[in-house]
Structure 1
Amino acid sequence: MKSRKVNLSSSLQHQSPAPSVDRLSGLLAHFRVQASLFHSGLLCGTNTFDAIPGRAFLHVLRRGSMQVRHPAMQGVEPVLALNEPSLLLYTRPLAHVFVNPPEEGSDFTCATLDFDGGERNPFVAALPPVVWVPLREVAGLQPALDLLFAETEKMHCGSRLIANRLFEVVLIQLLRWILDHPHKVGVSRGLILGLADARLAKTLVALHQSPGKPWSLASMAQTAAMSRSAFAAAFRQVTGMTPAAYLADWRLTLACTMIRDKRPLKLIAMELEFSSASSLSRAFSQRFGMSPRQWAQMQSAPAVFMSGY
């Protein structure tokens, strides 16, 4: 899946009307995202950002123009030319280089992002490695950006903390926009496209909010107001998974966060509708190739970071 700029000239693919349910809160309640401001102002010359395990980025280009260069790899544009105010979201570790005209520079505000769950985070798994969107495309974004720039231009007591929270607001607004325009950022299948579908979104939101409910294909289809056969076919076509496989994967993804938080396996099993702790352990081992205990030990091991920006 390639990173790409929004193509304003292309005709939009057919989409269902925007769902009336809250598609973000349930996911963000389980998988938080924390932002940390690290730069505000001009960036001149060449600036390199290394691929550090667990590190994502959100860059806001306020004015100016520049090139962004990436290493040669499948699914990523090697060179992006930014010629207008833009958002650049890096959802996972990816080295990138900013090349700016030295005589002009570019006015930037940048934050690192910590996606809870790492590569198991639903947004990290569902989005391209790079998302590039002009600021003018995201309706309602400007007030948050005005506050963000005001806090970063003149430091006051608590400015960094406020800027971090405002970056998170900008990210949520961007995610909201992506849910309404998945094809514009290159999403053609998976969770994001499912949440963009008015019928499937109702079921996906319900699964996210109540993972421990004894869901059946019939109850999932009923939530979407569809027949079982039509729901199963649409769900698989849009997300690339069967409803049962998605539910099982979602429960195990939540189990990872609970195990990391040192919750007892027996209580996790009860909360996520597994018949027993041993049943959860078997499903976990089949999915991840290791037991919950082994997985927890890996998470508590000291992280090894690369040097970089």
Structure 2
Amino acid sequence: MDRLTALLDRFRVRTRLFHTGKLCGRSTFEPLPGRAFLHVLRRGEMEVRHRPGDTDVPRFHLAEPTLLLYPRPVHHQFVNPPEDGSDFTCATLDFDGGERNPIVQSLPSLVRVPLDTVEGLRPALDLLFAEADHVRCGSRVLADRLFEVVLIQLLRWIIDHPAEVGVTSGLIMGLSDPRLAKALVALHRSPYEDWSLARMASTAGMSRSAFAAAFKDATGTTPAAYLTDWRLSLGASMMRSGRPVNLIATELGFASASSFSKAFRQRMGVSPRKWLAESV
């Protein structure tokens, strides 16, 4: 079962290579709105520092090749030897919807995974490093695309190993359960359909009571609330692309534009029009 494609089709992520090579001394990455980072430590040792309260670990030492994913804006600093430094390849990430992106919402503020832990990752990284390290026709564009491949492989691994990166609830936990994943994938693919609790439970192959309890335990919310949030997140993304509210309401299964606007205001605290004006 493909648990990621429907998500990534609806909420795309764009990656952009911005550094390859050594980092010496202190390197600081500021938390800019909508800016996420994916760092690949290829060789060397260093200390990673965070501001108190931003992550579960204020500082830690790295001594092996590691992936560091910051899905949300987090101030972080790499402290390397002043001359020899450590070898990195780094990219910025732009998730559609920013912090309201369902994938971003379901991840911790830092994901730290040794490279050799993710099965099948090495071939993609070898291609990425080859393109990042040599200036050839299209190398920057190809490196950007290969970073997307690395990110997708990492997300695929996280879904199968949520506890190892500190995920305890949310979308990722739902997708990690084969039964719940059947219902979630169906919701993601066809949010406009009439999804009653009975239909969701049937899709998962469970009774209504068992499905509702398992869904709440895994995701931290009810099936109905999740469906509404998914539709509204899609609606927000569609509004940013210029789609009119009346068409969005129809495509997402709302009875009317006014019912969409009412639900949007209840979840976001402002009307769709005001939200769109403030998000531009």
TM-score bucket (shorter structure)? over 0.9
SS at the partner of 1:142? Answer: helix
Q: Is the 8 A contact 2:54 2:109 kept in 1?
A: no
Distance 1:43 1:270 in 2: 51
One-letter amino acid of the counterpart of residue 72, structure 1:
P
The one-letter amino acid paired with 1:111 is A
Give secondary structure in 2 for the equivalent of 1:98. Answer: strand
After TM superposition, the structure 1 = structure 2 runs for residues 74-153 of structure 1, keeping only pairs within 5 Å, are: 75-153=55-133
Partners of 1:22 and 1:240 lie apart in 2 by: 22
Contact 2:183 2:201 in 1 (8 A): yes
2: CA distance, partners of 1:75 / 1:133:
15
Does the CA contact (< 8 Å) of 2:183 and 2:204 recur in 1? Answer: yes
Q: Secondary structure of 2:113's match?
A: strand
2:149 alignment partner AA = V
Deviation >6 Å, runs of 4+: none
Structure 1 portions without partners, runs of 5+: 1-20, 301-309
Alpha carbons of structure 1 residues 269 and 141: separation in structure 2 relative to 1, 3 Å: same
Distance 1:276 1:123 in 2: 28
Partner of 1:183: 163
> Percent identity of the aligned residues?
66
What displacement does 1:102 show?
A: 2.6
Aligned partner of 1:40 in structure 2 is 20
Alpha-carbon separation, structure 1, partners of 2:96 and 2:129: 26
Amino acid of the structure 1 residue aligned with 2:257: A
Structure having greater relative contact order (Cα 8 Å, sep ≥ 6): 1
Long gaps (5+) in structure 2: none
1:242 counterpart = 2:222: yes
Contact (CA 8 Å) 1:71, 1:78: kept in 2 or not?
A: yes
Encode CA deviations 1:91-129: one digit per residue, 9 max, x unaligned.
011111101123431110000110110011011101001
Shift of 1:153: 1.2
> Are 2:238 and 1:281 aligned?
no
- Residue 265 of structure 1 and its aligned partner are, at CA, apart by 1.1
Residue 134 of structure 1 aligns with an amino acid whose one-letter code is P
Q: Tell me the equivalent position of 1:291.
A: 271
Displacement of 1:76: 2.9
The structure 2 residue matched to 1:220, chosen from 200, 205, 214, is 200
Distance 2:121 2:82 in 1: 29
Provide the secondary structure at the position in 1 that maps to 2:148: helix
Indicate yes or no: 2:24 matched with 1:65.
no
* 2:220 paired with 1:257: no
What is the TM-score with the length of structure 2 in the denominator?
0.98
- Map of 2:249 onto structure 1: 269
| Shift, 1:231, TM fit | 0.5
Aligned residues: 280
Q: Say which structure is richer in helix.
A: 2
CA RMSD of aligned residues (A): 0.9
Q: Could you report, residue by residue, the CA deviation over 1:70-101 in whole angstroms, capped at 9, with x for unpaired residues? A: 00115431102111000000001111110112
Are residues 105 and 75 of structure 1, via their aligned partners in 2, closer, same or farther at CA, if it must alter by over 3 Å?
closer
- How far apart, CA to CA, are the structure 2 residues paired with 1:102 and 1:53? 30
Distance 2:55 2:226 in 1: 24
